[in-house]
Structure 1
Amino acid sequence: MLQRLLLLCCALVVLAGCAVTTVSGPQSGANTPQVSSGPGTSQEIARSFVQVVRTVEPVAERECRARTSEVNCDFKIVVDDRPDQPANAFQTLDRSGRPIIAFTLQLIADARNTDELAFVLGHEAAHHIAGHIGRQQQNAAAGAVIAGSLAVLLGGSTEAVEVAQRRGAQVGARTYSKDFELEADALGTVITARAGYDPVRGAQFFTRIPDPGDRFLGTHPPNAQRIETVRRVAAGL
């Protein structure tokens, strides 16, 4: 199933002239196409994904350019072709600073409708627009400095100071991670809606993933809080 989906995505991308590549390592509502590994065929799933990218990517780029001049707004969408990867999507940067948004095959196959795919794309684009990678790196560096300095003041050995710095960096990186996720949910809602999809319907995938709860130094907020954020922002639109 996943291998066929990958081949179809690649073929449709070529035909559509869409900026989607593979890497190793519409309107919403009653007529929204269903995207599922159950009743949907590989061809239907692949076409839906490519259509979502073609529709949402330019909207995300417009929002990016309207909100900041400090980052590269030329998004590149890639499909992680490793069949053993779980359903996931993430945002990163290449060596030139170009934003990369990656979808695993399993996430594409597991999405129940195009609204979910659109919301995930909008959410990941929002991480870049808000500069979350750079802010997280700054928080990690600050945590390392503070923890290392405390270890020095307490007379720790070189090894103890290094351990403190590593742990401080981990804590620092997680300090505002929940806030970052909620920020991305909010801006992702705007992008999804302006692309013509239903962000509230799209955020329903939160009901199917494990709830992280409200753990201290957890990386993600409770699912209910994320869904409420999407509903609140969507209502404001």
Structure 2
Amino acid sequence: MLRAGLAAVLLVLAGCAAPMGPQATGLPAFQPATDPGPFVTAGDAERAFPEVVSRVEPVAEAICRERTRGVPCDFQIAVDPRPGLDPNAFQTLDAQGRPVIGLTLSLITDARNVDELAFVVGHETAHHILGHIPRQRETALTGAVLAGVLAQMGGADEQTIRSMQDFGANVGARSYSKNFELEADGLGTEIAIRAGYDPIHGAQFFTRLPDPGDTFLGSHPPNAQRIAVVRRSAESLGFAGVW
């Protein structure tokens, strides 16, 4: 099992990996990373994860520095080793506004190969590079204001107005969430390729997830759509996959 101590090591690993700096505009062509083969046990995935981070994080940082202005790009990778958590990965910001990529141990051990791990990490770093957190906050605020104004114009009482504002914020936050996921899939594809991994192979991770379908308030697009975006993004970079 991945202990809390290893999670701390991964934080240091991600934060101190050598940045690619000026090379970002000339990122190298696909150079395959060492492939240990399919993971047979959960321990295989745990042992492979630090190497994946050491390759993916510097590429994500380089692209972040190249394509953003005034945005912190020193990614911190955190692993939650608590047992019983569902497989999950997310991007957030710490108190200083620095990007944090969080993964549960169960997600890492659920991966079948290094390409899946690399794609997940690349996808989450892409959310930060693309500015999805502030953009989502903006759409939530817009939705809340609009819903509140409409409720007030309709003569609603104060409690109803607040309820409508909450509803509007939720709709606003989710209205672009599917597009955000697809955008992150596209950039995450590029990050994985530049780090030496096969995102088309890595996106097979989606085939094992429950399909969210295409509901109005769903936060994620259908799995088949996400796989198609990965394929198109890879092809646009001249990458056809190695599998």
TM-score, with structure 1 as normaliser: 0.88
- Does 2:199 match 1:225? no
* SS in structure 1 of the partner of residue 221 of structure 2: coil
Q: Which amino acid aligns with 1:40?
A: T
Equivalent in the alignment of 2:32: 27
Note closer, same or farther for the CA distance 1:138–1:17 as it changes in structure 2 (3 Å cut). closer
**Rounded Cα–Cα distance in structure 1 between residues aligned with 2:72 and 2:38:** 31
Note closer, same or farther for the CA distance 1:17–1:72 as it changes in structure 2 (3 Å cut). closer
Equivalent in the alignment of 1:198: 198
Equivalent in the alignment of 1:23: none
**Rounded Cα–Cα distance in structure 2 between residues aligned with 1:205 and 1:140:** 30
**Rounded Cα–Cα distance in structure 2 between residues aligned with 1:236 and 1:19:** 28
User: Any runs of at least 4 consecutive aligned residues in structure 1 with deviations exceeding 6 A, and if so which?
Assistant: none
Give the alignment's Cα RMSD to 1 decimal: 2.0
Report if the CA contact (8 A) 1:34-1:112 is conserved.
no
Equivalent in the alignment of 1:40: 41
Equivalent in the alignment of 2:156: 156
Equivalent in the alignment of 2:183: 183
* SS in structure 2 of the partner of residue 160 of structure 1: helix
Note closer, same or farther for the CA distance 1:53–1:150 as it changes in structure 2 (3 Å cut). same
Note closer, same or farther for the CA distance 1:228–1:101 as it changes in structure 2 (3 Å cut). same
**Rounded Cα–Cα distance in structure 1 between residues aligned with 2:100 and 2:163:** 32
Report if the CA contact (8 A) 2:42-2:110 is conserved.
no
Alpha-carbon distance, 1:46 to partner: 2.3
**Unaligned segments of structure 2, at least 5 residues:** 16-30, 238-243
Report if the CA contact (8 A) 1:5-1:45 is conserved.
no
**Rounded Cα–Cα distance in structure 1 between residues aligned with 2:143 and 2:4:** 44
Equivalent in the alignment of 2:166: 166
- Does 2:9 match 1:6? no
Alpha-carbon distance, 1:33 to partner: 2.2
**Rounded Cα–Cα distance in structure 2 between residues aligned with 1:109 and 1:218:** 26
**Unaligned segments of structure 1, at least 5 residues:** 21-25
- Does 2:13 match 1:18? yes
* SS in structure 1 of the partner of residue 2 of structure 2: helix
**Rounded Cα–Cα distance in structure 2 between residues aligned with 1:175 and 1:92:** 19
Alpha-carbon distance, 1:34 to partner: 4.0
- Does 2:208 match 1:213? no
Report if the CA contact (8 A) 2:74-2:99 is conserved.
yes
Equivalent in the alignment of 1:146: 146
Alpha-carbon distance, 1:216 to partner: 0.9
TM-score, with structure 2 as normaliser: 0.86
Report if the CA contact (8 A) 1:9-1:50 is conserved.
no
**Rounded Cα–Cα distance in structure 1 between residues aligned with 2:100 and 2:67:** 18
* SS in structure 1 of the partner of residue 102 of structure 2: strand
Alpha-carbon distance, 1:132 to partner: 0.3
**Rounded Cα–Cα distance in structure 2 between residues aligned with 1:87 and 1:116:** 13
Note closer, same or farther for the CA distance 1:35–1:6 as it changes in structure 2 (3 Å cut). farther
Report if the CA contact (8 A) 1:140-1:168 is conserved.
yes
- Identical positions, percent: 58
Report if the CA contact (8 A) 1:35-1:45 is conserved.
no
After superposition, give the CA deviation of every residue in 1:6-42 in whole Å (9 maximum; x if it has no partner). 368459x48x96237xxxxx836xx722464xx2362
